[in-house]
Amino acid sequence: MRHARSGAGPFPHPDNRDAFMELLRQVVDDYYRWHTRCADAAAPALPDAGPDATPRVPAGTDDMKAVEDLVRELSGRLARASTPFPSPLYLAHMTPDVPVAASLAHLCTTLYNPNNVTPEASPVTTDIEHQVSDDLCRLVGHPPGTGWAHLSSGGHAANYEALWIARNLRSIPPAVAAHPAARDLVAGVSPIVLANMPVGRVLDLVEALAGRGLLAEVGRLAAARRREANTAGTLLLARSAHYAWDKCADLLGLGPSDVEPIGLTEAHRLDVVALGRRVRALLERGQPVLAVVAMCGSSGEGAVDDLDAILRLRDDCERRLGASFHVHVDAAFGGYYRSLWLRADGAMASYDERPLPGSGAVMKPEVHAAFRALPRADSVTVDPHKSGHAPYPAGGLVLRDARAVSLVARESAYFGQGDGHRLPFGPHTLEGARPGAAAAAVWAAHRQIGLHAEGYGRLLGGCAATAQRLHERFSPSRPRVTGVTGATAGARPGIVSCFAPDLGILNLSVRSGEGGGSPVPGVTAGRHVLDSILAEAAAAPLTSLYVSGNTLTGRAGPGGGEQVLRLVAMKELGAGTLDTVEEVLRAAVARSLGTRGAAG
């Protein structure tokens, strides 16, 4: 089955292949000129660089025939068997098509192999990452210079670092109170506030300690007290939070009782009322709250938590108790969607004046409110390699207050610490070695597409519109239609959307109908349908529909959650393609459950 393709736009297309090849030739020519210049310029000064000098290299490494064979084998395997992400029928995961500029920037920079741990190893790409840092700050809503951002290998690393910072931050005030030369800084502070001091006040303490030359001493005391107490506080997050948070808690030494999942609403968002009850109970007892994690595009459902309400809860706690908590937002998938409302100057438009002509996406007011509130969060994870359409690896962490990195900073004994004007990345990030190619690719994608409503906003608005149109086709309120084989009467298997999508992810529930259930004992209907779709895709990878699975917590099903089909829209699809998606899904339900009808 063939699908019409629109114009090239920023992505690979037959119309821009020749230009791509010409640019690639120029990239290779520049690289070889640079390599030769580096080797030849120093040669006259070296005693062993004469014409008779023989470089000592491993046997066979200069055999270009062997190199050609290796690369052709690899390229052929990739071209034959790679997952078909560019296919309009690929709706399984968050891997996007990569813009031409980002691909070329990544390929170009990889040749030079810069390591953004220090400007000494990456003068060009460190400067580029500083520009990307400013981009991500503006995307989230922070003025560059006040906030700070950096790239990481992905959302896992960014989330780990955010919680590492939150843990260290929470332990500073009690350590200040215990230090004889610093305790005057917290004189008169109640135990309740000492256990959960507002983030800004803690960072003011950190700045005061640095001014007295006491930051290192108090930091060591805080670390010792963390080990003695054997807990950093309570981590509160939605039941639907990414599995990375379990890993993160384990790495930081949090036990099962230190991590409290909060229930969900029918829209699969964190229940802020339940969160409020639990947070107030902890704060009033003076028990440390390590952090509250909100989702802005949960990985399974694309759900956007009510961040505005969470932050208003924090404001209320500060007014009533003087106590507060760190708010981290996991926007690994959803962060770039804020561009739907961003003007070219970076200002965020109101919901009613959203400047997004042409996408057809109708975004929910509460989703806009969450993105409007994003600048008030203390830390935000945003992954360019998801909705930013950058190649892997390119995660990112954005901090509201750049001073927070001092809580995890470490100096190196063997490389410089930067130019004194911008924070160096290596000493202030969880990961040391960091590929400069990733920074170059993100930088190029941002500049080719644009971090505003007419750029990423138009692109992601199309993704949201695709999810919304699929939801309408599978809506529970949609009138029953004839099944793909003509059955119309009686309870029969079907497929329905679980809830209206917030962003570009749709969850579909498989209903087995009369006397139904999966024909395979021990396998749910949703899982059986998914297995059928994946088997078909394995047999015909370039022409088949790809979807993924998800387990919705809080919904009836084995193990406490319903197994559903998950569709991730990373591109806008036309009506004809949507017809095909609907037809394939309904046919898969009918085929998998051994019935004649598949109407939703």
Torsion region of 71: left, alpha or beta (phi above 0 gives left; psi -120 to 50 gives alpha)? alpha
DSSP code at position 432 = S
Pairing of strands 259-262, 148-152: unpaired
CA-wise closest residue to 379 among 407, 395, 399: 399
- Report the distance separating Cα 588 and Cα 583, nearest Å: 9
What lies within 8 Å, CB to CB, of 589 at 6+ separation is 493, 494, 495, 510, 529, 598
Question: The tokens 């039941």 sit on which residue?
Answer: 239
Asked if residue 459 lies in contact with residue 565, where contact means CB atoms within 8 angstroms, the answer is no
Q: At what angle do helices 155-178 and 199-212 cross, to 10 degrees?
A: 60
User: Structure tokens of 374?
Assistant: 């994003």
Distance from chain centroid for Cα 156: 9
Q: Report the pLDDT value the prediction gives residue 234, as an integer from 0 to 100.
A: 93
Strand, helix or coil at 230?
coil
Q: Give the whole-angstrom CA distance, residue 539 versus residue 475.
A: 30
Three-class DSSP category at 561: strand
Q: How far is residue 336's CA from residue 139's CA, in Å, rounded to a whole number? A: 7
Closest CA to 171 of 118, 226, 133, 125: 226
Q: Are 101 and 448 in contact (CB under 8 A)?
A: yes
* Dist CA 427 CA 169 (whole Å): 18
CB 517 within 8 A of CB 526: no
CA angle 456, 458, 464 (to 5 degrees): 95
DSSP-derived secondary structure letter, 474: T
SS (H, E, C) 108-173: HHHHHCCECCCCCCCHHHHHHHHHHHHHHHHHHCCCECCEEEEEECCHHHHHHHHHHHHHHHHHHH
Predicted TM-score of the model (pTM): 0.91
| DSSP β-ladder status, 327-330 and 379-381 | parallel
**Is 467 in contact with 302 (CB distance < 8 Å)?**
yes
DSSP per-residue letters across 259-277: EEEEPB-TTS-B-HHHHHH
> Which residues partner with 148 through β-bridges?
399
Strands (DSSP E) contained in 192-311 are 234-238, 259-262, 289-295
Q: How far apart are CA 327 and CA 311, in angstroms?
A: 8
Predicted confidence pLDDT, tens digits, the chain (600 residues)? 334 344 567 899 999 999 999 999 999 999 889 888 888 777 677 666 555 555 666 666 668 888 899 999 999 999 999 999 999 999 999 999 999 999 999 999 999 999 999 888 899 999 999 999 999 999 999 988 899 999 999 999 999 999 999 999 999 999 999 999 999 999 999 999 999 999 999 999 999 999 999 999 999 999 998 887 766 799 999 988 888 888 888 888 888 889 999 999 999 999 999 999 999 999 999 999 999 999 999 999 999 999 999 999 999 999 999 999 999 999 999 999 999 999 988 899 998 876 555 567 899 999 999 999 999 999 999 999 999 999 999 999 999 999 999 888 877 655 666 666 788 888 888 898 899 999 999 999 999 999 999 999 999 999 999 999 999 999 887 755 444 433 333 345 689 999 999 999 999 999 876 545 666 655 688 898 999 999 999 999 999 999 999 998 766 554 557 899 999 999 999 999 999 999 999 999 988 886 544 444
Helix (H, G, I), strand (E, B) or coil at 234: strand
Question: 259-262 and 505-511 as β-strands: parallel, antiparallel, unpaired?
Answer: unpaired
Mention every residue, 6+ apart, whose C-beta is less than 8 A from residue 138. 144, 346, 451
Written in H, E and C, the secondary structure of 484-552 is: CCCCCCCCCCEEEECCCCCCCEEEEEEECCCCCCCCCCCCCHHHHHHHHHHHHHHHCCCCCCECEEEEE
- What sign does the CA torsion over 477, 479, 480, 485 have? negative
Chain-centre distance of CA 260, in angstroms? Answer: 22
| Sheet strand arrangement including 505-511 | 494-497, 505-511, 561-568, 548-553
Q: Which of 241, 410, 268, 403 is nearest to 331 (CA)?
A: 241
Position 8, amino acid: A
Q: How many helices (H) and strands (E) does the chain have?
A: 16, 11
Taking alpha carbons only, the member of 208, 268, 262, 214 closest to residue 237 is 262
Q: Report CA-CA distances (Å) from 584 to 94, 406, 466, 576, 581.
A: 21, 53, 16, 13, 5
d(CA 95, CA 106): 16
